[in-house]
């Protein structure tokens, strides 16, 4: 019989933390209710098992659909076990069916939905499992599922917007490099004998391109290996905690993109905080989950520092105010929410504001980058033209 750790509130409003042996979380809740205790958090002790036998990675889109379907069925009064089996039967993907089948069998065995979902940590993030757990204990599972699919939809859309914004400049830079290499390797060699035979002094652009061709033809393999080693070293460094932090810090300082990344991280922070606060997750647990949810290492560390200050008794806004990565607007809105008791509304307003900011930035990204790309392309074309035509003009003047 499994052991559970629980936190509950007694009739005097005091917090009680203890352990209990019971067949399932449901039995723990019933036992606590008999003792006139209000459960706040229940989690199994020493349960670290996860279920990894899934042949294909489950996409976020499928998790959103699963959450929507489960919410709709539960809202219509369908029992949770029947709902899970109906969702399993509606899907034709074997990996998804296997996952839902495992979740259904765990629920049928008397375990809670949150503990069943926790078997798939790569599919369901910590915020999802913690929110479902609180929803089960507080009796607001349907509302929690509704909040979760809205949160997942918005978060997925923002990630796609960020990728879309970064894809265009990456393709442009790659195109410029490929064009330069093709011109240097295949075009310039045809003109080198003509320029050498003419005896004219070659201009700087021509000397640069000929030097690049000689470098590539004589040391191309070493340059390629050097680039591969450099990329591999950077990937290795990025995978370390220190390296990832340094890179993420650098990304936030980039022109245009840095502002976009900061806005997206603020939006993610406020949206996640709103969702957890709305679903009733305790404050310290919410910040612990927030820290794990943030993908940017800089914001992850900053939230960890904020959590430490809150633990010492400081308010949320005062704790955020000490960080330079949270704009004054965000801090003041949260401060107003704390004082007026409308923190949820303030967090939702800030999240919506930064969502709109990210969307507008992504929409305007092309117009912001186009002048820079035009200047770079124009400079490259001008250099290539001068490298070819300047020596020819000198040769023509000698002939005349």
Contacts of 279 (CB under 8 A, 6+ apart): 131, 134, 135, 140, 143, 144, 147, 148
pLDDT class of 66 with cuts at 50, 70, 90: very high
* CATH class entry, domain 152-400: mainly alpha
pTM over 0.75: no
Query: Which CATH fold topology does 49-124 show?
Result: Receptor-associated Protein (1.20.81)
The C-alpha atoms of residue 307 and residue 310 are separated, in whole angstroms, by 5
Q: Average per-residue pLDDT in the chain?
A: 83
Q: State pLDDT tens for residues 251-295.
A: 999 887 888 889 888 988 988 888 888 877 788 888 888 887 788
Q: State pLDDT tens for residues 95-145.
A: 888 899 989 888 888 888 888 898 888 888 888 888 888 788 777 888 889
Comparing 1-48 with 49-124, is the CATH topology the same?
no
Q: Are 161 and 359 in contact (CB under 8 A)?
A: yes
The C-alpha atoms of residue 120 and residue 106 are separated, in whole angstroms, by 12
The C-alpha atoms of residue 337 and residue 331 are separated, in whole angstroms, by 10
The residue extents of the domains of the chain are 1-48, 49-124, 152-400
Lowest mean pLDDT among 39-48, 49-58, 68-77, 275-284: 49-58
Q: State pLDDT tens for residues 295-330.
A: 889 999 999 999 999 888 888 999 999 888 999 999
Q: Are 148 and 128 in contact (CB under 8 A)?
A: yes
Provide the CATH number for the domain formed by 1-48 in this structure: 3.40.1440.10
The C-alpha atoms of residue 253 and residue 191 are separated, in whole angstroms, by 43
Q: Give me the percent of the chain exceeding a pLDDT of 90.
A: 18
pLDDT class of 232 with cuts at 50, 70, 90: very high
Per-residue tokens: 314: 């400081």
Residue 48 clears pLDDT 60, i.e. is over it: no
pLDDT class of 1 with cuts at 50, 70, 90: very low
Contacts of 388 (CB under 8 A, 6+ apart): 191, 206
Of 176 and 72, more confident: 72
pLDDT class of 398 with cuts at 50, 70, 90: low
pLDDT class of 53 with cuts at 50, 70, 90: low
pLDDT class of 91 with cuts at 50, 70, 90: confident
């Amino acid at each position: 019989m499994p052991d559970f750790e629980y936190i509950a509130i007694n009739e005097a409003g005091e917090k009680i933390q203890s352990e209990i042996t019971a067949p399932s979380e449901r039995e723990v809740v019933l036992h606590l209710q008999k003792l006139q205790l209000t459960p706040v958090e229940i989690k199994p002790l020493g349960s670290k098992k996860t279920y990894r036998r899934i042949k294909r990675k489950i996409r976020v889109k499928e998790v959103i659909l699963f959450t929507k379907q489960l919410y709709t069925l539960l809202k219509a009064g369908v029992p949770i076990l029947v709902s899970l089996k109906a969702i399993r039967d509606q899907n034709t993907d074997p990996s998804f069916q296997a996952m839902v089948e495992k979740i259904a069998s765990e629920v049928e065995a008397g375990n809670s939905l949150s503990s069943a979902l926790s078997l798939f940590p790569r599919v369901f993030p910590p915020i999802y499992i913690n929110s479902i757990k609180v929803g089960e204990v507080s009796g607001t599972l349907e509302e929690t599922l509704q909040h979760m699919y809205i949160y997942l939809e918005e978060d997925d859309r923002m990630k796609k917007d960020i990728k879309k914004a970064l894809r265009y400049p990456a393709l442009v830079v790659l195109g410029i490099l490929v064009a330069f290499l093709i011109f240097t390797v295949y075009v310039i060699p045809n003109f080198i004998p003509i320029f050498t035979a003419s005896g004219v002094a070659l201009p700087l652009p021509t000397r640069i391109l000929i030097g690049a061709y000689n470098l590539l033809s004589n040391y191309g393999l070493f340059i390629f290996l050097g680039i591969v080693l450099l990329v591999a070293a950077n990937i290795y460094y990025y995978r370390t905690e220190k390296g990832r932090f340094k890179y993420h810090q650098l990304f936030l300082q980039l022109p245009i993109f840095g502002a976009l990344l900061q806005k997206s991280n603020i939006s993610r922070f406020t949206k996640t905080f709103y969702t957890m606060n709305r679903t009733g997750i305790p404050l310290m647990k919410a910040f612990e989950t927030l820290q794990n949810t943030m993908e940017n290492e800089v914001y992850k560390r900053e939230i960890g520092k904020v959590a430490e200050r809150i633990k010492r008794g400081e308010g949320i806004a005062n704790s955020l105010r000490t960080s330079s990565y949270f704009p004054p607007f965000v801090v003041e809105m949260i401060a107003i929410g704390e004082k007026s008791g409308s923190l949820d509304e303030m967090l939702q307003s800030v999240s919506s504001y930064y969502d709109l900011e990210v969307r507008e930035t992504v929409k305007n990204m092309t117009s912001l980058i186009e002048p820079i790309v035009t200047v770079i392309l124009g400079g490259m074309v001008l250099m290539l033209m001068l490298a070819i035509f300047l020596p020819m003009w000198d040769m023509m003047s000698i002939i005349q």
